A and B are shown apart, each in its own frame.
Chain A
Amino acid sequence: MKLGELFDKGEFVVTGEVGPVKGAIPRDENFVPPCVKEAEHLNGCVHAINVTDNQSAVMKLGSLAACVRLRKSGHEPIYQITCRDRNRIALQSELLTAFSLGVDNMLLLTGDHTNLGDHKEAKPVFDLDSVQLVRIAAALQAGKDMADNKLLNAPDFFIGAVVNPNFQPLDLQLMKMGKKVEAGTHFFQTQAVYDDRVVDEFVEKAAKFDRPVQLGVVLLKSPQMGAYMNKNVSGITVPQKWIDEIGSVDKGDRKKKAAEMMGRFIKKHKSKFQGVHIMPLGWSDVVPDILEQAEIRTRHN
């Protein structure tokens, strides 16, 4: 199911996120991959689930394999694909392949630099940037590859892209968002935001693009995580008051506190967006609580 069907109906679209682990899926029929186990917590409360693509340039099981297993288990996957590891031939092929394996929704990203991951000497590909990739995905949907060759059968997917409201100067990031819209993006997910003013400035300036936008949030699990993200994760800034608040409770109470903080933030800003994208970083069991605190109910199968 393409998420566009939900956005068109005015549904507030809720998505979660899981990350594949570093390892293959054994042939044992009974084995449930960890990311699929995680997704079980999201049953009934999210419309779809993002699957990351070698996130932070750390080599993992492919997003596509995890997407296929999620589908098999009754979830709606969003296939994340970055420009870091594949050239234009592989990227086009991957998009056709993903659609052919039953994936209807894609998120097209630049990708974290190889330098950030665990294979620092790998060749960073970046043959295409995210704007070019969106344009090419739209072309595939229209029945042609980027070399203008006709496709035997065109894929039909819902194309997503990312925007970072934290980026300064914001106008430069919005210039690129505009290019992604022109290239054919159907919807956006934002990079994680924690700052009310950042949200409001972004909402005001991005309104002109008239595309559904999901507010992206990353669950803050501990003060150490906040400090770590500020130091190591590109494009995310966690304000000190968030770090202090999560640090104000005992370890045993952190899940509850994290859900409360996230729920409060989402509730405050949900009316400004067409959906929310929750990145629980392994604490998917907390997502139902977050949504309850945010007073969000998905009218979902």
Chain B
Amino acid sequence: MHATIQKPIEEIVQFIRPGEKVFVIGCNNCAWKCHSGGEDETKAMAERLAKRGVDVVGYTVPGPQGMSLCKLDHTRKVLTQDYAGPVKKADSFLVLGCGQGVHTVIDATDGGMVHPGCDTIFGGETVSETEINEYCSLCGECIIEFTGGLCPMTLCAKSLLNGPCGGAENGKCEVDPDRDCGWIMIYERLSKLNRLDLLKPYQKPKNHAKWSRPRSLKVSPHEATFCSMGGKITVNNQD
């Protein structure tokens, strides 16, 4: 899930030029969970902009709840058919969703002008209605088999792969006394699971080529190919 937070309204208003007609579009999946671009927030943003003198020609959240803005065919249908009228009047789209959603709007409108209404901050687990935490850095080279499912790239401030540095004190990271040391968490979990043997193998240096952007994934029911600067990797998911 992509965690997003709205940009301050003062910053958003600065993006919009005098006389510009704006269509506000949110996302009923991740941004809804983050309260940054769900139905309520999108309606509120339209009203807040109008209050500040922006010419808002319409707004929507491509529904239903759980539907992502970043699903191109659906968003295209919503903007070019369901909301064709207001969209035709719009000079630009204020997008309350993640960066993937912003790009989807560009694709859906064949190159329409877009403004990002949110900062996209991380990929996270929705722990509760009020808490979303980052546990994965989307590095493309997962080694959490060896760390009990807890990612050292994400939980260790230095992204160390072979164990902790010497800086932790009272179980807390040297960077922040309120932050648990990622490697102590990994160790405690593996101790509980009686699998400390998993820490023995040497973890080789990260392949940053697999983490380079932009990456792509070609999929079919039988196989998938991951493309990055690290090359193409095809995996069969049926044999």
- Partner-B contacts on A (CB < 8 A): 83-84, 88, 110-113, 115-116, 124, 126-132, 135, 146, 162-164, 166-169, 171-173, 175-176, 179, 182-183, 191, 234-235, 237
Cα-based distance from A122 to B161 in the complex (angstroms): 21
- Partner-A contacts on B (CB < 8 A): 157-171, 174-176, 183-184, 187, 196, 199-200, 202-206, 208
Report the minimal beta-carbon distance from B92 to chain A, rounded to whole angstroms: 32
| Residues of B with C-beta under 8 A to A173 | 163-164, 166
Report the minimal beta-carbon distance from A195 to chain B, rounded to whole angstroms: 13
Partner of B166, one of A135, A167, A169, A171: A167
- With A113-B175, A126-B160 known as contacts, the answer to whether A234 contacts B202 (CB < 8 A) is no
Report which residue of A83, A112, A129, A162 has the largest number of chain B beta carbons within 10 angstroms of its beta carbon: A129
**Interface contact A234-B158, CB-CB below 8 Å:** no
8 pairs of A and B residues whose beta carbons are closest in the complex: A164-B166, A234-B167, A234-B174, A176-B163, A131-B162, A110-B165, A129-B160, A235-B166
Report the minimal beta-carbon distance from A213 to chain B, rounded to whole angstroms: 14
Partner of B162, one of A116, A163, A179: A179
| Residues of A with C-beta under 8 A to B162 | 129-132, 176, 179
Cα-based distance from A168 to B170 in the complex (angstroms): 7
Residue of A nearest to B177 (CB): A231
The majority secondary structure among interface residues of chain A is: loop
Partner of A168, one of B163, B171, B203: B171
| Residues of A with C-beta under 8 A to B166 | 110, 162-164, 166-167, 173, 191, 234-235
Report the minimal beta-carbon distance from B169 to chain A, rounded to whole angstroms: 7
- With A168-B171, A234-B169, A235-B169 known as contacts, the answer to whether A179 contacts B205 (CB < 8 A) is no
Report the minimal beta-carbon distance from A129 to chain B, rounded to whole angstroms: 4
Report the minimal beta-carbon distance from A133 to chain B, rounded to whole angstroms: 9
Residue of B nearest to A162 (CB): B166
| Residues of A with C-beta under 8 A to B203 | 132
Q: List 10 A-B contacts (CB under 8 A).
A: A113-B158, A113-B174, A115-B157, A129-B160, A129-B163, A162-B166, A164-B167, A167-B164, A175-B199, A234-B167
